[in-house]
Amino acid sequence: MKICVLGSGALGSSIGGALAEAGSEVYLIDQWVDHINEINKHGLKIKEGDTKRRVKVQGKTDCTGIGAADLIIVLVKSFHTKEAIQKASSIIGEKTIVMSLQNGLGNEETLIKVVGKDRVIGGKTYVGGVLVGPGNIVSGIKGKYTYIGELDGTITERINQVAEEFNRAGLLTAISDNIGGMIWDKLLINVATGALCGITKLPYGGLYKVPEIRDCAFDAISEGIAVAKANGVMLSVENPERIWLMAAVGLPDEFKTSMLQSLEKGSKTEIDYINGAVVRLGEKWNIPTPVNKALVANVKGIEYWLEHYNTKA
Ligand SMILES: NC(=O)C1=CN([C@@H]2O[C@H](COP(=O)(O)OP(=O)(O)OC[C@H]3O[C@@H](n4cnc5c(N)ncnc54)[C@H](OP(=O)(O)O)[C@@H]3O)[C@@H](O)[C@H]2O)C=CC1
Ligand SMILES: CC(C)(CO)C(=O)C(=O)O
């Protein structure tokens, strides 16, 4: 399969690197020139558990010269989705499938507006990645599931092909006839710890020791569950405590959510697509979401501080 990873930072490189290692024709596309140059010169350096290796994979700073892809995996941050897919028209052919594995809600809708409904499939992943430096990542693949599915729940040949390609690469991938529910399951995991970790700056070791943080997370998750149900979503788990505990499975005490990692880099976060999405849908269904509103306000406040008051930038 010819696979283009649109946005090859922490997660895009982890997933694209695994697929390339297993023999797929992979193009890692990213606007970070030093990262792509390093990948092309020395290979992608991957640390996974105690093992380190370099993977040969093609890096590109844009889509020029690649031609139509079989599969495009979108892994830019959610606020870059529209621009990234608009710039990717040269790799979209008649049979190209486009799949987001991003966190948050709304990415499929954005992709559909640009490439059309028939090309888009759904996906969510629990694989993790950290970008250490140009061409250098830490990847967390082992035991982490990825769920993919047609948006209408049918099981098609193309879904089977993508699942096969992922599983061949050691990316544990299951096909779901309820991908909308899977997307919400992951959203609630991000609602549980993303913003609270970002606001408190606590890695998981500390985050899980403060009872008031846990209580606040339970309330944020409960609001999310109520909104999901009003929206007709079928969740796998509806117990806030289980979701809070699931958010930490397999992650070390020093783990920081991507929300905190973004803030530490001085970057914008995906808050509008995570807790912000719960608030917007709550308004639509007349469900109060005061805790998620407060989390959004706090993260937006930190983003504003970083942009306007941070003298260290
Ligand atoms: N990292 C993780 O463990 C996990 C991440 N996710 C989700 O995956 C998505 C990606 O996250 P992550 O990999 O951490 O993010 P990163 O910031 O590490 O990677 C995104 C990359 O996309 C680049 N980019 C932005 N716009 C474009 C464009 N138009 N064309 C090509 N490249 C572009 C960015 O460049 P620049 O920095 O210059 O903007 C950046 O290098 C997010 O939705 C995140 O929530 C989900 C699960 C786990
Ligand atoms: C679930 C979790 C916490 C780790 O993959 C995540 O998605 C994030 O950090 O944004």
How do the domains of the chain map onto residue ranges? 2-177, 180-309
Say if domain 2-177 classifies as CATH 3.40.50.720: yes
Taking the centre of ligand 2 as the mean of its atom positions, its distance from the CA of residue 186, in whole angstroms, is 9
Say if domain 180-309 classifies as CATH 3.10.20.30: no
- Give the span between the Cα atoms of 117 and 183, in whole angstroms: 17
- Give the span between the Cα atoms of 291 and 275, in whole angstroms: 9
Choose which residue among 185, 193, 255 to substitute to test ligand 2 binding: the one with the highest number of ligand atoms within 8 A of its C-beta.
193
Task: Return the exposure string of 252-279: e unless at least 16 CB atoms fall within 10 Å of the residue's CB, then b.
Answer: eeebbbbbbbbbeeeebbbbbbbbbbbb
Quote the pLDDT of residue 311.
83
Taking the centre of ligand 1 as the mean of its atom positions, its distance from the CA of residue 78, in whole angstroms, is 8
Predicted confidence (pLDDT) per residue in 275-285, tens digit: 999 999 999 99
Q: Which residues are catalytic?
A: 186
Predicted confidence (pLDDT) per residue in 165-206, tens digit: 999 999 999 999 999 999 999 999 999 999 999 999 999 999
Question: Which pLDDT band holds residue 313 (cuts at 50, 70, 90)?
Answer: low
Q: What beta strand segments (E) does the chain contain? A: 2-6, 25-29, 44-48, 51-55, 58-60, 71-74, 97-100, 120-125, 128-133, 136-140, 146-150, 173-175
172 and 148 in contact (C-beta within 8 Å)? Answer: no
Predicted confidence (pLDDT) per residue in 227-270, tens digit: 999 999 999 999 999 999 999 988 889 989 999 999 999 999 99
Does ipTM surpass 0.85 in this model? Answer: yes
State whether residue 26 is helix, strand or coil.
Answer: strand
- CB 194 near ligand 2, within 6 Å: yes
For strands 97-100 and 71-74, give the pairing.
parallel
Quote the pLDDT of residue 207.
98
Predicted confidence (pLDDT) per residue in 84-93, tens digit: 999 999 999 9
For the CA of 29, the nearest atom of ligand 1: 31
Taking the centre of ligand 2 as the mean of its atom positions, its distance from the CA of residue 194, in whole angstroms, is 7
Q: Which amino acid is at 170?
A: G
Choose which residue among 146, 184, 257 to substitute to test ligand 2 binding: the one with the highest number of ligand atoms within 8 A of its C-beta.
257
- CB 189 near ligand 2, within 6 Å: yes
Predicted confidence (pLDDT) per residue in 207-229, tens digit: 999 999 999 999 999 999 999 99
Quote the pLDDT of residue 312.
75
Work out the average pLDDT over 20-46.
98
Taking the centre of ligand 1 as the mean of its atom positions, its distance from the CA of residue 132, in whole angstroms, is 13
Structure tokens at 192: 């549980």
72 DSSP 8-state letter: E
List the residue whose alpha carbon is closest to atom 10 of ligand 2.
258
